[in-house]
Amino acid sequence: MDESDFEGTLVLEQLAAVGRVEDFFDAIDSDDVERATSLMKAARVDAPTIAMVVRKMEEADGEH
């Protein structure tokens, strides 16, 4: 899972609005689901989208 998986998405737009895009990608890179989830919640990403991102993270598990 990398930045191209999120390019142009509402997730990035909302994270950018709160200045947390880099933190989000750091969480993705370190497979830190809890931190990524927390950042998305802080950016007011909706629950179904958060669940989809978490599912993608778990499916990619170490393949970034």
How does DSSP assign 2-55, residue by residue? -GGGTTT-HHHHHHHHTT-HHHHHHHHHTT-HHHHHHHHHHTT--HHHHHHHHH
Whole-model pTM: value is 0.81
Contact partners, residue 44, CB within 8 Å, separation at least 6? 14
Which one-letter DSSP state was computed for residue 24? H
pLDDT tens, position by position, 6-43: 655 789 999 999 999 999 999 999 999 999 999 999 99
Give the start-to-end residue ranges of the domains of the chain.
3-60
Around Cβ 24, how many Cβ atoms within 10 Å? 27
